[in-house]
Structure 1
Amino acid sequence: MESRKRSVIKAVIWNLLGLLIMAIVGFAMTGSLSTGGTMALINAALGLTMYFLYERLWAGIRWGRNA
C-alpha cells in the first residue's frame, strides 16, 4: 500500500502533464489563450481530485494483490 503523500505527488505530476496538454488543445480549438487556459485549469482541478480519490479507493481494495 502506498502512502497518502505518494498518492498526492503522483496525482500532482499527472495533473501537470494533463494541464499542459489541455492548455494546448484548448488554445488550438478556441484560438484564445484565456479560454484554453481556463479550460485547462478546470480540467486539472477536477482531474486531480478524481485521480486522488480513485487511487485512495483502490489502495483500500485487497483484490488482485500478491502477498
Structure 2
Amino acid sequence: METRKRSLAKALSWRIVATVITMAVAFALTREVEVAAAVAGLDTTIKFGAYFVHERLWLRIRFGRYQPTDYQI
C-alpha cells in the first residue's frame, strides 16, 4: 500500500512531465511558445478532468477487487 501523499506526489510529478512533453511537441509543430503553452495548458486541464471522471467510474466496477473477510488471522 502507498500513502495518499506518495500517490499524489507521483500523480503531480507525472502530470508535470506529461505537460512538458505536450508543450515540446506543440512547440515543435508550431514554433510558437505562446501556442505551445496554450496547448499544454488546455491539454493538462482536460486530461486532469477526464482522469478524475475515469477514476470515479472505475470505483463502480468490481473487476479485480476482492471482498475482505470478516476476520483476519
Q: State the TM-score bracket (shorter-chain normalisation).
A: 0.7 to 0.9
Which residue matches 1:20?
20
Structure 2 gaps of 5+ residues are 68-73
Q: CA deviation at 1:11?
A: 4.7
CA distance in 1, matches of 2:11, 2:48: 6
1:28-64 Cα deviation digits (max 9, x unpaired): 1100111011000000000000011101211221122
CA distance in 2, matches of 1:13, 1:54: 19
> Does residue 45 of structure 1 match 2:45?
yes
Which residue matches 2:34?
34
Number of residue-to-residue matches in the alignment: 64
C-alpha distance 41-34 of structure 1, shift in aligned 2 (>3 A): same
Q: Which has the larger radius of gyration?
A: 2
- 3-state DSSP of counterpart to 2:62: coil
RMSD: 2.5
CA distance in 1, matches of 2:11, 2:19: 12
Q: Which has the larger share of helix?
A: 1
- 3-state DSSP of counterpart to 1:25: helix
Q: Percent identity over the alignment?
A: 31
